[in-house]
Amino acid sequence: MDLNKKYTPQTWPDHPETATLEGKNKFVGFWLLLAAETVTFASLFATYLALKDKGPSGMEFSASELFELPLVFAMTMILLTSSLTSVYAMYHMKNHNFKAMQAWLGITVFLGLSFLGLEIYEFNHYVHIGFGYTNSAFSSAFFTLVGTHGAHVLFGLSWFIALMLRNSKRGLNMYNAPKFYLASLYWHFIDVVWVFIFTVVYLMGVIG
Amino acid sequence: MSSIAQKKGFGATIWDYLTTVDHKKIAILYFISGGLFFVIGGIEAMMIRIQLMKAGNDFLSAGLYNEIITMHGTTMIFLASMPLLLAFMNAVMPLQIGARDVAFPFLNSLGFWLFFFGGIFLNLSWFLGGAPDAGWTNYASLAMASEGHGIDFYTLGLTISGFGTLIAGINFLVTIINMRAPGMTYMRMPLFTWTTFVASALILLAFPPLTIGLFFMVFDRLFGANFFDVAMGGNTIIWEHLFWIFGHPEVYILILPAFGIFSEIFAIFSRKRLFGYTALVFATILIGFYGFMVWAHHMFTVGLGPTANAVFALATMIIAVPTGVKIFNWLLTIWGGNVSFTTPMLYAVAFIPSFVAGGVTGVMQAMAPLDYQLHDSYFIVAHFHYVIVGGVVLALLAGTHLYWPKMFGTMLSEKLGKITFWFFLIGFHLTFFIQHFLGLMGMPRRVYTFGANQGWDTYNMISSFGALFMAIGVIVLLINVVLTIVKNERIGNDPWGDGRTLEWAIPSPPPFYNFPQTPLVRGLDSYWIEKMEGNKEGMVYAEPLGDIHMPNGSIIPLIMSFGMFVAAFGAMYHMDGDKAWALPVLVIGLGITFGSMLVRSLKDDLGFYITKEELLRDAKGGNNNGSK
Amino acid sequence: MKQGLKNWRLFALLTALLVFLSGCGREEISTLIPAGAVAKDQFNMLILSSAVMAFVILVVTIIYVLAIVKFRRSKIGEDVIPEQVEGSAKLEFLWTAIPIVLILIIAVPTVYSTFELADTSDMDVKAEDGSMTNLTVNVNAKLYWWEFEYPEQGIVTSQELVVPTGEKVYFNLLAADVKHSFWIPSIGGKLDANPENVNTFYLTFDKESSELEDGVFYGKCAELCGPSHALMDFKVKSLSPEDFDTWVAAMQEDVTPAEGALAQEGEQLFGADGAGCIACHATSGVGTGGKAGPNLATFGDRNRVAGILEHNEEEVKNWISNPQKYKPGNLMPSPKELNGGKEFTEQELDALAAYLMSLSVEK
- Which of B 263-282 lie inside 8 A of C, CB atoms? 270-273, 275-279
Q: DSSP string spanning C303-332?
A: SEETTTEESSHHHHHHHHH-HHHHSTT--P
Whether pLDDT at B582 is above 50: yes
What distance in Å separates the CA atoms of residue B490 and residue B409, rounded to the nearest whole number?
Answer: 6
| CA distances for B264 relative to A185, A187, B202, B499, angstroms | 39, 43, 21, 9
| CA distances for C158 relative to B106, B369, C139, C253, angstroms | 61, 27, 9, 17
pLDDT of C19 reads 54
Mutate to test the interface with B, among C41, C72, C103 (most CBs of B within 10 A): C103
What digits encode the pLDDT tens for the residues A121-168?
A: 999 999 999 899 999 999 999 999 999 999 999 999 999 999 999 998
What distance in Å separates the CA atoms of residue C265 and residue B117, rounded to the nearest whole number?
Answer: 62
Q: What is the dihedral of CA B251, B254, B255, B261, to 10 degrees?
A: 180
What digits encode the pLDDT tens for the residues B2-52?
A: 444 456 788 899 999 999 999 999 999 999 999 999 999 999 999 999 999
Whether pLDDT at C151 is above 70: yes
Gap from B292 CA to chain A (nearest CA, Å): 12
∠ Cα B233 B234 B239 (to 5°): 165
pLDDT of C13 reads 58
DSSP code of B80? Answer: I
pLDDT of B625 reads 46
Residue B178 to residue A3, Cβ atoms within 8 A: no
Nearest to C228 among B62, B310, B327 (CB): B62
Give the rounded distance of the alpha carbon of C274 from its chain centre. 36
Residue B170's pLDDT band (cuts 50, 70, 90): very high
What distance in Å separates the CA atoms of residue C230 and residue B69, rounded to the nearest whole number?
Answer: 13
A-chain residues near B219 (CB < 8 A): 140, 144
Q: Does B329 touch chain C (CB under 8 A)?
A: yes
| CA distances for B266 relative to A148, B52, B288, B338, B395, angstroms | 47, 38, 22, 10, 12
pLDDT of A174 reads 87
A-chain residues near B606 (CB < 8 A): 1, 3, 175
What distance in Å separates the CA atoms of residue A13 and residue A24, rounded to the nearest whole number?
Answer: 14
Q: Does C25 touch chain B (CB under 8 A)?
A: yes
Whether pLDDT at B1 is above 50: no
Is C42 within 8 Å of C189 (Cβ atoms)? yes
Residue of C nearest to B350 (CA): C64
Residues pairing with B609 in the sheet: B549
Q: How many CB atoms lie within 10 A of CB B559?
A: 18
Give me the amino acid identity at B569: F
B-chain residues near C323 (CB < 8 A): none
Please state which of the ranges B162-166, B488-492, B573-577, C162-166 shows the lowest mean pLDDT: B573-577
pLDDT of C22 reads 56
Whether pLDDT at B387 is above 90: yes
What distance in Å separates the CA atoms of residue B244 and residue B361, rounded to the nearest whole number?
Answer: 19
Q: What ipTM goes with this model?
A: 0.94
Bridge-based pairing state of the strands C135-142 and C168-175: parallel
DSSP code of B391? Answer: I
Is C114 within 8 Å of B306 (Cβ atoms)? yes
Is B584 within 8 Å of B519 (Cβ atoms)? no
Whether pLDDT at C17 is above 80: no
Residue of A nearest to B240 (CA): A47
What distance in Å separates the CA atoms of residue C157 and residue B493, rounded to the nearest whole number?
Answer: 74
**Contact residues of A toward B, CB < 8 A:** 1, 3, 21, 24-25, 28-29, 32-33, 35-37, 39-40, 43-44, 46-47, 50-51, 54-56, 59, 133-141, 144, 162-163, 166, 175
Whether pLDDT at C1 is above 60: no
What distance in Å separates the CA atoms of residue C28 and residue C133, rounded to the nearest whole number?
Answer: 28
Q: Work out the average pLDDT over B348-366.
A: 95
Residues pairing with C161 in the sheet: C236
Residue C325 C-beta-side C-alpha neighbours within 13 Å: 11
Residue B204 to residue A32, Cβ atoms within 8 A: yes
Residue of A nearest to B234 (CA): A137
Mutate to test the interface with A, among B108, B144, B170, B552 (most CBs of A within 10 A): B170
Is B473 within 8 Å of B421 (Cβ atoms)? yes
Is C168 within 8 Å of C114 (Cβ atoms)? no
Mutate to test the interface with C, among B133, B325, B373 (most CBs of C within 10 A): B373
Residue B223 to residue A40, Cβ atoms within 8 A: no
Is B333 within 8 Å of B191 (Cβ atoms)? no
pTM of the model: 0.94
B201 or A2: which carries more pLDDT confidence? B201
Nearest to B442 among C29, C117, C178 (CB): C29
∠ Cα B255 B257 B259 (to 5°): 70
Gap from A159 CA to chain B (nearest CA, Å): 9
- The full 3-state SS of chain A, as one line of letters, equals CCCCCCCCCCCCCCCHHHCCHHHHHHHHHHHHHHHHHHHHHHHHHHHHHHHCCCCCCCCCCCHHHHCCHHHHHHHHHHHHHHHHHHHHHHHHHHCCCHHHHHHHHHHHHHHHHHHHHHHHHHHHHHHHCCCCCCCCHHHHHHHHHHHHHHHHHHHHHHHHHHHHHHHCCCCCCCCCHHHHHHHHHHHHHHHHHHHHHHHHHHHHHHHC
Residue A29's pLDDT band (cuts 50, 70, 90): very high
Nearest to B324 among C42, C95, C185 (CB): C95
What distance in Å separates the CA atoms of residue A112 and residue A156, rounded to the nearest whole number?
Answer: 9
Residue B437 to residue C19, Cβ atoms within 8 A: yes
pLDDT of A138 reads 95
* In chain A, % of residues over pLDDT 90: 75
Gap from A141 CA to chain B (nearest CA, Å): 7
Residue of B nearest to A180 (CA): B601
Nearest to B209 among A33, A39, A55 (CB): A39
pLDDT of B6 reads 53
Q: Does B215 touch chain A (CB under 8 A)?
A: yes
Whether pLDDT at C41 is above 60: yes
Residue B178 to residue A24, Cβ atoms within 8 A: yes
Q: Work out the average pLDDT over C346-356.
A: 93
Residue C296's pLDDT band (cuts 50, 70, 90): very high
Phi, psi of C29 (to 5 degrees): -140, -10
Residue C15's pLDDT band (cuts 50, 70, 90): low
Is B207 within 8 Å of B166 (Cβ atoms)? yes
Q: Work out the average pLDDT over B341-358.
A: 95
Nearest to B276 among C26, C87, C103 (CB): C87
Contacts of C194 (CB under 8 A, 6+ apart): B141, B236, B237, B302, B303, C173, C174, C175, C179
What digits encode the pLDDT tens for the residues B62-75?
A: 999 999 999 999 99
Q: Work out the average pLDDT over C328-340.
A: 88
Chains with 3+ CB–CB pairs under 8 A to B are A, C
Q: Work out the average pLDDT over B407-420.
A: 96
Whether pLDDT at A204 is above 50: yes
Residues pairing with C220 in the sheet: C183
Q: Does B211 touch chain A (CB under 8 A)?
A: yes
Q: Work out the average pLDDT over C323-343.
A: 88
What digits encode the pLDDT tens for the residues B115-148?
A: 999 999 999 999 998 999 999 999 999 999 998 8
Measured in residues, chain C has a length of 363
What distance in Å separates the CA atoms of residue B549 and residue A115, rounded to the nearest whole number?
Answer: 43
pLDDT of B16 reads 93
Chains with 3+ CB–CB pairs under 8 A to C are B
Residue B627's pLDDT band (cuts 50, 70, 90): very low
What distance in Å separates the CA atoms of residue A168 and residue B95, rounded to the nearest whole number?
Answer: 40
Nearest to A136 among B174, B213, B233 (CB): B233
* In chain B, % of residues over pLDDT 70: 98
Residue B536's pLDDT band (cuts 50, 70, 90): confident
Is B313 within 8 Å of B367 (Cβ atoms)? yes
